[in-house]
């Protein structure tokens, strides 16, 4: 028996979710966000599969290089932009599109000699207050880059929303207003929308949408699940039952004696732990699924194992498959029991887990 710790990736679900994006934003091009190993789903496999999107978005140069090395020819937009002159050269060599958010990047590009020009996006900070030029700097940066022969015109402009997944819309509307106001005189393509804005703010769709989490079938709003928006989870994480323990009432399970048997009962030991990316903070009672029944976590998550309450499945047998999250069990639910968000759980699946694409 293999350890059986497997992440099944349903490529058809990715396509379905992209078609949801297209239905919501039919007039926008799609920059598919595949940073952080495509949210844990496998950077190259996802990029090779997603032929129906217009471009890919990654966080950093290394991710972009991996894509080109694997033969991906679509445009690649790198959210962090370029750091130094050496990186700038890599952007031109491989035709990557940097997101320019700071003056040091503008200077690095302007100081370049003759090259084959590339596209660039300029990021304006409308309220996230991480990356981006202040709104009142945007016009100056845009104008300063007009004569730059290294960049294809028109340049694109973008911003990122900090609160689009919340129902309190006033902050988001102030970000949208700021963006509209300061980019009014700019003729280049414009982009605002992450998944939450694609779902909740149609006015933000503009020329490019940038879906991430919803492409993987997961809700950007932690209180909902992907199914609430007709999305299908692309990842189903499973492991196997590797031991069954008969314990007595009051027996404790695992490190720190954190799980206590309320009665004489069977405990299942499952071949997954935080070394595989299952969250160590998952509390007692976090659901897992065995044979369609909920088997709650009992005791602490270890590096290589978890222990589950088998009372709902008297017939459970060694080798049975246990689902940690996915089709029948939303990752959003597991995240809620672990004080985190689905994004973190998906990104956190480690290399010890076997990936099956189907």
| Near ligand PLP in 150-209, by CB under 6 A | 160, 194-196
Q: How far is the CB of 214 from ligand PLP (least distance, A)?
A: 6
- Alpha-carbon distance 110 to 88, whole Å? 10
- Alpha-carbon distance 311 to 34, whole Å? 40
Closest residue (Cβ) to ligand PLP?
212
Instruction: List active site positions.
Output: 35, 255
| Near ligand PLP in 104-143, by CB under 6 A | none
CA atoms within 13 A on the CB side of 356: 10
| Near ligand PLP in 19-58, by CB under 6 A | 33, 35
Instruction: List the one residue from 41, 210, 221, 232 that touches ligand PLP (CB under 6 A).
Output: 210
Q: How far is the CB of 159 from ligand PLP (least distance, A)?
A: 9
Binding to ligand PLP by residue 79, rule CB under 6 A? yes
Binding to ligand PLP by residue 233, rule CB under 6 A? no
Q: How far is the CB of 14 from ligand PLP (least distance, A)?
A: 14
Contacts of 56 (CB under 8 A, 6+ apart): 31, 32, 33, 34, 47, 50, 67, 72, 74, 75, 76, 77
Q: How far is the CB of 354 from ligand PLP (least distance, A)?
A: 25
Q: Which residues of 109-122 are buried (b: 16+ CB within 10 A; e: fewer)?
A: beebeeeeebbbbb
Binding to ligand PLP by residue 220, rule CB under 6 A? yes
Instruction: Specify the residue, 160 or 190, whose C-beta has the smaller distance to ligand PLP.
Output: 160
Tokens of 221: 């709003």
Contacts of 12 (CB under 8 A, 6+ apart): none
Contacts of 119 (CB under 8 A, 6+ apart): 75, 97, 151, 152, 155, 156
Strand, helix or coil for residue 29? strand
Instruction: List the one residue from 46, 109, 213, 316 that touches ligand PLP (CB under 6 A).
Output: 213
Binding segment (CB under 6 A) for ligand PLP, from list 104-112, 170-178, 212-220, 330-338: 212-220
- Alpha-carbon distance 276 to 239, whole Å? 10
Binding to ligand PLP by residue 211, rule CB under 6 A? yes
Binding segment (CB under 6 A) for ligand PLP, from list 145-153, 179-187, 213-221, 344-352: 213-221
Beta bridge partners of 78: 58, 98
Q: How far is the CB of 269 from ligand PLP (least distance, A)?
A: 34
**Number of residues near ligand PLP (by CB under 6 A):** 13
Q: How far is the CB of 131 from ligand PLP (least distance, A)?
A: 8
Instruction: Specify the residue, 160 or 300, whose C-beta has the smaller distance to ligand PLP.
Output: 160
Binding to ligand PLP by residue 212, rule CB under 6 A? yes
Cβ atoms of 175 and 127 within 8 Å: the answer is yes
β 156-158/76-78 pair status: unpaired
- Which spans of this chain sit near ligand PLP (rule: CB under 6 A)? 33, 35, 79, 160, 194-196, 210-214, 220
């Amino acid at each position: 028996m293999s350890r059986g710790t497997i992440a099944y990736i349903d490529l058809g679900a990715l396509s379905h979710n992209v078609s949801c994006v297209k239905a919501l934003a039919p007039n926008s091009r799609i920059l598919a966000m595949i940073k952080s190993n495509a949210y844990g789903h496998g950077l190259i496999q996802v990029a090779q599969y997603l032929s129906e999107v217009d471009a890919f978005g990654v966080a950093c140069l290394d991710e972009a290089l991996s894509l080109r090395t694997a033969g991906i020819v679509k445009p690649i937009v790198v959210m962090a932009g370029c750091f130094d002159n050496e990186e700038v050269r890599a952007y031109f060599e491989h035709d990557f599109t940097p997101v320019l958010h700071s003056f040091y990047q503008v200077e690095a590009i302007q100081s370049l000699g003759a090259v084959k020009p590339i596209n660039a996006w300029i990021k304006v900070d409308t309220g996230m207050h991480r990356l981006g030029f202040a709104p009142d700097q945007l016009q100056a940066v845009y104008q300063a880059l007009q004569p730059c022969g290294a960049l294809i015109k028109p340049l694109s402009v973008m911003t990122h929303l900090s609160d689009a997944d919340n129902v309190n819309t006033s902050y988001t509307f102030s970000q949208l207003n700021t963006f509209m106001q300061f980019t009014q005189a700019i003729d280049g393509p414009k982009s605002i929308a992450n998944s939450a804005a694609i779902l909740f703010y149609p006015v933000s769709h503009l020329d490019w949408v940038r879906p991430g989490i919803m492409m993987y079938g997961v809700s950007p709003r932690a209180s909902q699940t992907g199914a609430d928006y007709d999305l299908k989870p692309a990842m189903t994480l499973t492991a196997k039952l590797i031991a069954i323990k008969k314990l007595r009432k009051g027996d404790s399970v695992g490190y720190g004696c954190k799980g206590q048997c309320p009665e004489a009962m069977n405990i299942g030991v499952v071949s997954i732990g935080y070394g595989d990316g299952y969250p160590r903070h998952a509390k007692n009672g976090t659901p897992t699924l065995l044979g369609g029944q909920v088997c709650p976590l009992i005791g602490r998550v270890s590096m290589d194992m978890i222990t589950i309450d088998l009372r709902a499945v008297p017939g459970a047998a060694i080798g049975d498959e246990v689902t940690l999250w996915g089709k029948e069990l939303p990752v959003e639910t597991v995240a809620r029991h672990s004080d985190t968000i689905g994004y973190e759980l998906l990104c956190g699946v480690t290399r010890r887990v076997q990936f099956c694409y189907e």
